[in-house]
Amino acid sequence: MKIFNAMMAVVAGVAGLSVMPASVAAQAAAATPLAIPASDPKLNWGPCPPIFKGSCQIAVLHGDPGRPNADVFLKIGGGTELIPHLHTSAERMILVSGRLRVQYKGAKPAILAAGDYAYGPAGLPHKGTCLSKQSRTLFIAFEGPVDAEPAALQP
């Protein structure tokens, strides 16, 4: 059945048609579009999980952080290091402002600049350090519920 649905989607795409399951169409009709600037004073900033020390705040942009598919802004204070940790969810990130060093277990550190994208697989330990003197903001889209637990980067 999955192969048939995939083939129908390809055929529909070639023909210029849209094939959308009824459940997806219903969700799309019920969703409210959003456009939120990172500097919006109405953002409701709260504390990060207690494992993170230093200056760290989080604002939920869309969804429920206790359920899959929540989007958040993470504000990291200048010079703040987020300890090695992992998430049970994969995460997709775009640095909104500043510079951030990110290191995943088994990979070389990467320096993100504003507009850069990073992907973190579920369960992979990583850490981040704000390289700016001022607080910087990171957009994160989680596939599963938002969580963080301490983890070791070294084997």
Model pLDDT, residue 112 = 96
Model pLDDT, residue 151 = 93
Q: Is residue 3 one of the residues assigned to a domain?
A: yes
Q: Is residue 40 one of the residues assigned to a domain?
A: no
**How many domains does one find in the chain?**
2
Q: Cα dist. 94→67, 116, 120, 147 in Å?
A: 21, 5, 12, 18
Nearest-CA neighbor of 88 among 121, 47, 49? 121
For residue 129, give the CATH number of its domain. Answer: 2.60.120.10
Within this chain, do residues 24 and 55 fall inside the same structural domain, yes or no? no
Model pLDDT, residue 90 = 96
Within this chain, do residues 63 and 21 fall inside the same structural domain, yes or no? no
Torsion angles phi and psi, residue 2, rounded to 5: -60, -40
State the burial class of residue 76 (Cβ atoms within 10 Å of its Cβ: 0-12, 13-18, 19+).
Answer: buried
CA 135, 138, 144, 148 torsion-angle sign: negative
Within this chain, do residues 15 and 51 fall inside the same structural domain, yes or no? no
pTM of the model: 0.78
Model pLDDT, residue 8 = 36
Within this chain, do residues 52 and 127 fall inside the same structural domain, yes or no? yes
Model pLDDT, residue 38 = 87
Residue numbers of the chain with a pLDDT score lower than 50? 1-26
Within this chain, do residues 132 and 71 fall inside the same structural domain, yes or no? yes
What residues pair up with 92 in beta bridges, in sequence order?
Answer: 119, 141
Model pLDDT, residue 99 = 94
Domain ranges, residue 16: 1-31
Within this chain, do residues 123 and 82 fall inside the same structural domain, yes or no? yes
Euclidean distance between CA atoms 34 and 54, whole angstroms: 30
Model pLDDT, residue 58 = 94
Q: Residues with Cβ < 8 Å from 5, sequence gap 6 or more?
A: none
